Chains A and B, each alone.
Chain A
Amino acid sequence: MIRATNLCKQFEQSIKEGKKTRKVEFLAVDHASLYAKEGEIVGILGPNGAGKTTLLRMLGMLMTPTEGELELTDASGNLITDVTGKKGAIGYLSNNTKLYPRFSIREYLHFLGELYDHSEEEIEARIGHIFEVLDMESFGDNRIDKLSTGQTQRASIARCLMADPQLYILDEPTLGLDILSADAIIRFMQEQKESGKTVLYSTHYLEEAEVLCDRIYMICKGKIVAHGTPAELKAQTQTDTLRKAFHVIYDEATEGGVTV
């Protein structure tokens, strides 16, 4: 389970005023509090630039929050305190987590297995299992720079699986994928949920989120502006689809100043 309390991230932004540029500090994530439990898929929705990626990077331990607290517990409910332990318990996947092009998938997974302290037989067994599940036997020994987009995405999932994390953090995992690959990802998330893992993911596809997510956080300008199950959000805004609900919430949050 992961729980974040009043998470903040401050960035500097250059603003041009005539000839002078001024540096302004602003909060990319502004006191965001959220949690995700075992066996749950939690969606993070929000327009571009709302702070989703920054939030997920902080949750994934890639960035240090300026303020706020982050708690991560393992399957038996014990608090994980050290950074490497936390990173080991998180499977983080985004469009920026590319794989090493000069390795084959098998070599790369082997390297990961060593890092995660698995024994040699364990590693071999895991790789065999992952290749079977993701149907990767045919290209598992190819160098990663020789793979197609769909194959690469499957390789990335294989990367996360190798660690066997407690919590998956996926930043727009279905972005730009064809229907088959996107469905494979969705299936993967559902399987993880069923096996008792936590999935936290951001997306722009509201229809997808509506069927997939147990709970949804809506984020706007770094603040969490709404939270609940898809049904609750629709009820709150008196709409019949999540897409409409999103518009209503967004308009309220920006005080109707901007229409989407």
Chain B
Amino acid sequence: MKKIGILVKKEMTEILRDKKTLIIMIVMPLLLYPALLIGLSLGMSMLMESQEEAYTVGYLQEDEAYITPLISLYQREQEELDTELIFKGVKTEESHTAKEESDVWVDFSEEQQSIRIQVNYTSTNQSSNSTEDILQDLAEEYREELLLQNLEQEGLTEDFLYPVIYEAKDSVSTAESMGMSIGGSIGMLLITTILLGAFYPAVDITTGEKERGTLETLLTLPVTNFQMIMSKFISVSIVACATAVLALVALGGSVLFLMMAVPAELGESAIQIPIDVFLSSVPVVLLALITTALLITAFCMCFCVFAQSSKEANNYMTPIMLVIMLASMVGMMPTVDLNYKLSLIPFVNVSLLIKQVFAQQLSVSLALTTALVNAAYSIITIWVLAKMYNSEDIMFSDGFRSFRLFQKREDIKKGTIPATGDIGICVIVVLLAMIYLGGIVSARDVFLGTMATQLIILILPLALCWYMKTDIKQLFGMKSPKKSMLPGSILLYLGTYMAVILLSGIITKLFPEDMQSLGMTFEEIMGKPVFWVVLVVALMPAVGEECLFRGLVFGSMRHRYSVMWGILISAVIFGAFHGVAKLVPTGLLGAAFAYIVYKTGSIWVSMFLHFFNNLLSVVAMKYPDAVESVLPVLMKEELSVMEVVIMAVMAVVCITVGLVLMNRKHIANR
């Protein structure tokens, strides 16, 4: 720990002695953003003012009688209008040139009982367009005035004309909607700042070490690689965080400045957020930003390690920067709101979170999830980074070799088991494909979307195994099960199932909205014929998810580390795939399945149990009455204390007996 401290001091000195870093870290956020923000709003208001010019409306002098009411209406409302209109009557012989010169030309004609006002304008011309708008309003008012007069003559009131009155009231205050619109862009701005702040020092102290030839010197020091990489990571994170905080301060400062000093002149165009709301959102934004800074730092460093020169590092980073910036732009889309699914996507989540904060719709649990998710991603990335720094291939030459996925297929030996990095990439790709591809299809049709998601979960792991020439039968455990293990397996599953029901009950109480939305997607699928429902909800997940989580993840991880770690890792990933809210119960189920695969040596058992498990919920949803009559406990919204206790006892008993059955010595030895 002390050594990391010394190293961090060294790295920080090195970073801070580089002028370019300082400029990006301090000058950019502190000067550029306020300048941009204040400049933009001032510029906008100036533009507004400059629009106050006069437009001309041309008409024939002989139409004087028709236009006079319009002119008097205009004069009455002149105060409220930004623009000034000049009405110019011309003689018939001059009309040709006048039509050219005036912004709009108005012709009048009388029909049976009405007056036709024809406004000739040019839609591509801004001033002509605005004039036409004003004239339209005036004409409509005029029409209404006449109508009311007519009504009065007939002895009727206004209600006769408007028997129905429609009025919409927005519950969102103007401050909130303003916050919404600027919050989206501020998220992107901040993420970009962090990116720039982290990028340069990251290149400087990873690739830069190689370039300056100091890497070997560093390796001679009496420190472990982990201490080395951690100190570098911490240093770059400090710079990235400092940039983020500076940017936040600068932005906050300029927002406050705009609110306090300028509103008198700017009027409504100034940004208006209540100060207390603004200040109270600072900690949340700060937390989200710091975790994002960590993630971005880890990301940048991961890619910089591969590069031999700054130029190469730039080449690697450009696409990454684009992706991150695109992701952070999601916040600017008006219809997208943060939810648990989106909070799993890095950068998108922070961008949306900041928007929420500004719209004053912050949900603490979502904010925490976002921070947690980002922290988790950072830890994974740092871990990959530490692995890379341990690889001589990467340190002393170009090192994409250590990831098998970057190897050509023909170079891979037969029967290779995927490495941790490969699994990580595969899981992330599956997740992204699920969210983006599955999401797009789901938007059209939930049923098809679920099907697509399940196919992705099945196909990607199989593709990875094909590429790596993995012995799938061996890795997945596609063999007939050890029969002696079956009773124990079934008991273990039943016990876990009960535990899952209890845990889900607790979680539903904690996160009611989340479980509700899950229920809704379910309902749409349940409307289909039984065959399809069973296929999509029970059979496909049983095959696909078992292949991915128990086959690929558990199979590889137990080989690489130990059975314990294999069960744990696969369970956590399995749980996480089903949403943060369901992480614990689903994870528990995943752990039980993995253990069953380990003991029986066969994935078929867990596939069957998984199928059975999902079939249960299909049956419960499809035929609630039938289930109610057989097993009423399953259908209850809330269990009584007695039932909970009984179920908990049964769960513990089943799990214990199951475990004991599977671990009996004479069976295990057989």
Q: Are A63 and B392 in contact (CB under 8 A)?
A: yes
A84 touches B222 (CB 8 A): yes
Tell me the complex Cα distance, A126–B542, Å.
68
Q: Say yes or no for B411: interface residue by CB 8 A criterion.
A: yes
In the bound complex, residues from chain A placing their C-beta under 8 Å from that of B174 are none
Residue from A98, A99, A102, A115 within 8 A of B3 (CB atoms): A115
A154 to chain B, nearest CB (A): 15
- Chain B residues, CB < 8 A from A94: 216
Q: Which residues of B contact A101 (CB under 8 A)?
A: 212
Chain A residues lying within 8 Å of B221, measured Cβ to Cβ, are: 87, 112, 115
Instruction: Given A64-B392, A114-B6, check contact A100 B214 (CB 8 Å).
Output: yes
Instruction: Check: A139 CB closer than 8 A to any chain B CB.
Output: no
Contact for A98 among B9, B212, B223, CB less than 8 A: B212
On whether the beta carbons of B217 and A85 are closer than 8 Å, the reply is: no
Judge whether B14 and A159 touch: CB under 8 Å. no
Report the nearest A residue to B410, measured CB to CB. A20
Q: Does A107 contact B (CB under 8 A)?
A: yes
Contact A87–B214 (Cβ < 8 Å)? no
Query: In the complex, are the beta carbons of B217 and A97 less than 8 A apart?
Result: yes
Q: Which residues of B contact A90 (CB under 8 A)?
A: 220
A103, B220: Cβ atoms closer than 8 Å: no
- Residues in B neighbouring A100, C-beta threshold 8 A: 10, 14, 212, 214, 217
* A173 interface contact, C-beta 8 A: no
**Please, which residue of chain B has its CB at the minimum distance from the CB of A101?**
B212
B1-34 near A? 1/0 per residue, CB < 8 Å = 0010011011001100110000000000000000
Is A129's CB within 8 Å of the partner chain B? Answer: no
Interface string of B472-485 (1 = CB under 8 A from A): 00000000000000
Instruction: Report the Cα distance A116→B221, complex, angstroms.
Output: 9
Interface status of B213 (Cβ within 8 A of chain A): yes
Q: How far is the CA of A84 from the CA of B4 in the complex (A)?
A: 13
Question: A111 at interface (Cβ–Cβ under 8 A)?
Answer: yes
Residues on B with C-beta less than 8 A from A116 are: 222
Residue from A99, A114, A115 within 8 A of B214 (CB atoms): A99
Chain A residues with CB below 8 A from B223, complex form: 84, 87, 115
Whether B14 contacts A62 by the Cβ 8 Å rule is no
Is B224 part of the contact surface with A, judged by Cβ < 8 Å? Answer: yes
CA distance A112 to B10 in the complex (A): 10
Q: Contact check, B224 vs A83: say whether CB atoms are below 8 A apart.
A: yes
Cβ contacts under 8 Å, A12 to chain B: 401
Per the bound structure, the CA–CA distance linking A102 and B14 in Å amounts to 6
Given contacts A23-B411, A102-B14, contact A87 B222 (CB under 8 A): yes
User: What is the chain A residue whose CB lies nearest that of B221?
Assistant: A115
> Given that A85-B222, A102-B18 are known contacts, is A159 also in contact with B392, CB under 8 Å in the complex?
no
Query: Considering the complex, which residues of chain A in the window 114-151 have a beta carbon less than 8 Å from any beta carbon of chain B?
Result: 114-116
Decide: A115 and B222 in contact? CB cutoff 8 A.
yes
Partner of B13, one of A88, A102, A115: A102
Q: For B9, give the chain A residue with the smallest CB separation.
A: A111
Q: Which residues of A contact B396 (CB under 8 A)?
A: 63
The residues of A that contact B626 with a CB separation of less than 8 Å are: none
Encoded as 1 (CB less than 8 Å from any A CB) or 0, chain B from 208 to 235 comes to 0000111111011111100000000000
Instruction: Output the least CB separation between A160 and chain B (Å).
Output: 9
Asked if A201 is at the interface (CB within 8 A of a chain B CB), the reply is no
Main secondary structure of the interface of B (DSSP, over half): helix
Known A63-B392, A103-B13, A107-B13: A98·B220 in contact at CB below 8 Å: no
Give Cα A64–Cα B10 distance, bound, in whole angstroms.
Answer: 26
Cβ of A195 under 8 Å from chain B:
no
B217 touches A111 (CB 8 A): no
Q: Are A96 and B17 touching (Cβ within 8 A)?
A: no
Residues of chain B within 8 A (CB-CB) of A97 are: 213-214, 216-217, 220
B-side contacts of A111, CB under 8 Å:
6, 9-10
List B contacts of A230 (CB < 8 A): none
B220–A60 contact, CB under 8 A? Answer: yes
Contact call A96/B216, Cβ cutoff below 8 A: yes
Query: How far is A200 from B79 in the complex, measured between Cα atoms in Å?
Result: 93
What distance in Å separates the Cβ of A135 from its nearest Cβ neighbour in chain B? 22
Question: Quick check: is A92 within 8 A (CB to CB) of the other chain?
Answer: yes
Interface residues of A in 150-187 (CB under 8 A from B): 159, 163
Task: Say yes or no: A84 contacts B392, CB within 8 Å.
Answer: no
| Least CB separation from A86: chain B residue | B222
Nearest-CB residue, chain B, relative to A60? B220
Q: Would you call A102 and B220 a contact (CB within 8 A)? A: no
Alpha-carbon separation in the docked complex, A98 to B212 (Å): 7
Q: Which of B18, B212, B220, B392 contacts A87 (CB 8 A)?
A: B220
User: Which of B6, B18, B213 is the one whose CB lies under 8 Å from A115?
Assistant: B6
Q: How many angstroms between the C-alpha atoms of A96 and B220 in the bound complex?
A: 11
**CB pair A98 B214 closer than 8 Å:** yes
Closest to A171 in B: B216
**Complex contacts, A103 vs chain B, CB 8 Å:** 10, 13-14
Q: Which residues of A contact B18 (CB under 8 A)?
A: 102
**A21-48 vs B: 1/0 string, CB under 8 Å?**
0010000000000000000000000000
| Distance between A164 CB and nearest chain B CB, rounded to angstroms | 12
Pairwise interchain contact B222-A98, C-beta atoms closer than 8 A: no
Chain A neighbourhood of B411, CB < 8 A: 23
Pairwise interchain contact A62-B6, C-beta atoms closer than 8 A: no
Residue contact B6 to A159, C-beta cutoff 8 Å: no
Closest CB-CB distance, B115 to chain A, in whole Å? 82
Q: Write out, one digit per residue, whether chain A residues 44-63 have a CB within 8 A of any chain B CB (1) or not (0).
A: 00000000000000001111
Tell me the complex Cα distance, A101–B222, Å: 20
Q: Which of A91, A98, A103, A163 is most buried by chain B, counting CB atoms within 10 A of its CB?
A: A98
A22 → chain B, closest Cβ, in Å? 9
Q: Determine whether the beta carbon of A98 is less than 8 Å from that of B213.
A: yes
Which residues on the B side are within 8 Å of A87 (C-beta)? 220-223
**A61–B216 alpha-carbon span in the complex (Å):** 11
Closest residue on chain B to residue A85 by CB atoms: B222
* Cα-based distance from A60 to B216 in the complex (angstroms): 11
Are the C-beta atoms of B392 and A98 separated by less than 8 Å?
no
Residues of the A chain whose Cβ atoms lie less than 8 Å from the Cβ of B14: 100, 102-103
On chain A, the residues within 8 Å of B3 by CB distance are 115
Instruction: For B15, give the chain A residue with the smallest CB separation.
Output: A102
Residues of A60-83 whose CB lies within 8 A of B:
60-64, 83
Considering the chains assembled together, what is the distance between the CA atoms of A96 and B3 in angstroms?
24
Quick check: B219 and A62 within 8 Å, CB to CB? yes
Q: Are A99's CB and B217's CB within 8 A?
A: yes
Distance of B22 from chain A, by nearest CB (Å): 12
Set of chain B residues within 8 Å of A99, measured between Cβ atoms: 214, 217
Residues in A whose Cβ lies below 8 Å from that of B222? 84-85, 87-88, 115-116, 163
Which residue among A60, A85, A102 has the maximum number of chain B CB atoms within 10 Å of its CB?
A: A102
Docked pose: A23 CA to B413 CA in angstroms: 12
- Is B13 a contact partner of A84 (Cβ separation < 8 A)? no
Contact of A84 among B6, B7, B213, B224 (CB under 8 A): B224
Q: Which residue of A lies closest to B215 (CB)?
A: A96
How distant is the Cα of A115 from the Cα of B6 in the complex, in angstroms? 7
CA distance A159 to B87 in the complex (A): 88
A96 CA / B395 CA spacing, docked (Å)? 13
1/0 per residue, CB under 8 A from A, across B384-400: the answer is 00000000100010000
Please give, as numbers and ranges, the residues of chain B lying within 8 Å of A114 by CB-CB distance.
6
A92 contacts B6, C-beta separation under 8 Å? no
Complex alpha-carbon distance, A94 and B215, angstroms: 12
Contacts of B219 in A (CB 8 A): 62
Please provide the 6 A-B residue pairs with the shortest distance between their CB atoms, ordered closest to farther.
A98-B213, A88-B222, A102-B17, A97-B217, A92-B220, A87-B222
New A-B contacts (10) at CB < 8 Å, excluding given A97-B214, A102-B14, A112-B221: A84-B224, A85-B222, A96-B215, A97-B213, A98-B213, A102-B13, A111-B9, A115-B223, A116-B222, A163-B222
A residues lining the B interface (CB < 8 Å): 12, 23, 60-64, 83-85, 87-88, 90-92, 94, 96-103, 107, 111-112, 114-116, 159, 163
26 contacts between A and B (CB under 8 A): A61-B220, A62-B216, A64-B392, A84-B224, A87-B221, A87-B222, A88-B222, A90-B220, A91-B220, A92-B220, A94-B216, A97-B213, A97-B214, A97-B216, A99-B217, A100-B217, A101-B212, A102-B13, A102-B17, A107-B13, A111-B6, A114-B6, A115-B221, A115-B222, A116-B222, A159-B217
